[in-house]
Structures are given as C-alpha cells and as structure tokens.
Amino acid sequence: MSIILTIAALAGTWATTANALDAAPVAQGWDEPACDVDVAQLIEPAALLDSEQQPATQVIPAEPVATAVTVVKAAPVDAAAIVTAEDLLDVLESANKELVTLRAGIRIGTLKELQGDLQRRTGMVYYENRPALPEETVMPVRRFAVKFDELDNDGVVTKEDQTFVFTGRDLIERNDKQKFFSKRCVIKEGDTRDPLRIGEGPVPLPIGQKKADILQRFEVELWEPTRDLVWHVEGEQEQVEKSVAACKQLRLLPRPDAQMQGDIVEVRLWYKTNKAGEWLPRLAWTKNKAGDTTFVELYKLETNVEIDAGVMNVEKPEGNDWVVQEVGC
C-alpha cells in the first residue's frame, strides 16, 4: 500500500502524544508500544493534489552520509488496466519496490463525532527506504519523519513546531513550542521483524506493504473515486471531488479476526499517477468505532530525491525547562 495507512491513526493521537505514549496498548509480540499509530492517511487541499514534480536523481542518506542508489523502473501501468482491487494492489506492491525516498507536503485533519471539533495540522512528511548495500549484513532501513508548522483548530490558526520521527528503531517526538521530548524504543537490537508492517509491528506503514498481507487482514474493494466522498471542510467538497476524479479509490474493511489499532472500522485510500507514471497516495480517510474520522492529504509529492540527513536526526534537547521522557526496550 502506500504511506497513507500509517499516518491516519497517528493523526488522532498527535495532539496529545505524551499521554498516548503512556496509555497505548502493547501490540502482541512487542515489549513496548510506540503510540496508537497506524499510518493510514495522507493528502492536502484539493487544489494542490494536482501539483506534481518529476522525480529527481535518487540519493539516499545512509545515516548522515548520502548514498547514491540506482532504481530500475518497470514500465508504467495505465489506469485503464486496473479494473479490480487486486489489480491495484499488484501495481502498488510493484511501485513500492521502486520507492526509495518520498518528500511531500501533508495536511492531517481529525473530526470528533460527538464534539464536532475539527483540527488540522499542516507540514512536511519524509520517507526513506534505504536498501542494504551489497557489503552490508544489516536489514534494510525504513524510516520516516513528519514536521508540523501550523495548527488550524476550528478556524483558529497558530504556528507549530512539532516533529515526529521513526528511526527504524525508536519513535521520537519533539515539540519545541511546548518544550516536550519523548523517545521510545519500538524494537530491540537484533530483532528482524518489521515494525512498519501492518499487523506485525506497532508502527504500521502502508508503504512497502505486500498484497498478501493486506488481503489477509482486510476485505478490499475498488470504488469509483468520488463514491461516498464527504469532505468535512466547508466550501471544499467540489474542489476535492475534482482533484480525485482521476484517482483509484480502495475501500478496506478489517476482517473479523484482524486487530486494528485505534479501533479502526473502515479505511479508504486514493491513489493517482504522476507525470512519470508512478502510482502514489494522494488522500486517505479512516473511521473508528466512536465515529471519529481522520483524513490525510499529500501534495507536491517528490519521489527518489535527496533528503537531508538532519531531517531524520532529532536531538535530545538540553535545559531544565524541557519535559523529557525516554523508554528503552
């Protein structure tokens, strides 16, 4: 699938991550949970969904040092050839193998069913999948960072300075505005399981997911792009419908025996090709048992571009005016 599935459940807890980290249920088979995370939604205002850029030459930072990587791309798959949900899952699994880095603008919104409160955060998301080099024996490294710089709380807009990073081992939050820092170990050294795999780890990320894993955990349908699309932001419905008109929409319903983080009962994902023919996530929407919904917008997507090594390296702050929480494995 795409980076869309790990950011939706995350979004519902980002506003109060400090509490979420303490209260999150322990995922089966893992000693320490990260937080109530399920990266399952990524989008941005409709007008920006069509703003695409050609992929640049790929350079992957392998810690602070950038490492050049060559990607052999398969022939693009035309949208007309995708007629079933399984067709799309095949295309996405193949496309994920060619995705080494992704950089995009992101807007995440949450709407509470009972209170009617709408909250949206805007920022940038970065994803890196650095394959193991021929001379290395380590596992491939998949990690991501999300940096928020603006919060819209029911129309009241304020500046933010909040960063979330998954390093491949630890989940880190740093909020410079609130002077809060947390670092929680997600996997022990030497553990070969994938913490970003849906159903295996506490930080499931829809990028790099396998078709078989998705079908095992979800009932999947391919829907028309605007079917049952109800946008929660006043005045944006028509604009969003235009932006997803060329997308493929996947609807995922958890199977009865699948345990979902965040009590998610429905996931909907929209994918679209860019000018280079790459299938990428554009929009995601999730609903939980309480009726709360989360939507994620991705815009100005760039693939296989150089990502500054500092983006993934969040330092522990110094000073007595910070609240610092660290939990090891």
CA 234, chain centre distance (Å): 25
- Over residues 165-204, the pLDDT tens digits come to 988 888 999 999 999 999 999 888 777 767 666 545 555 5
Q: Answer whether 252's CB lies under 8 Å from 222's CB.
A: no
Task: Give the count of alpha carbons within 13 A of 323, CB side only.
Answer: 9
The answer to whether 51 touches 272, Cβ cutoff 8 Å, is no
Are 284 and 43 in contact by the 8 Å Cβ rule? The answer is yes
CATH architecture of 7-315: Clam (2.50)
Q: What is the pLDDT of residue 197?
A: 64
- How far, in Å, CA of 123 to CA of 151, rounded? 9
Taking the C-alpha atoms of residue 193 and residue 203, their distance in angstroms, rounded to an integer, is 12
With bands split at pLDDT 50, 70 and 90, how would you rate the model's confidence at 87? very high
pLDDT of 223 = 97
Q: Angle at Cα 126 formed by Cα 106 and Cα 149, nearest 5°?
A: 45
Higher pLDDT, 15 or 85: 85
pLDDT tens by residue, 193-250: 676 665 455 555 556 678 888 898 899 999 999 999 988 888 889 999 999 999 999 9
In order, the DSSP letters of 188-199 are -TT--S-TTSTT
Q: Which residue ranges make up each domain of the chain? A: 7-315
Amino acid at 324: V
Give me the sign of the Cα torsion angle 160, 161, 167, 171. Answer: negative
pLDDT per residue as tens digits for the range 97-133: 788 899 999 999 999 888 888 999 999 999 988 765 5
**Alpha carbons 92 and 221: distance in angstroms, whole number:** 15
Token pair of 305 as six digits = 């571009």
pLDDT at 36 over 80: no
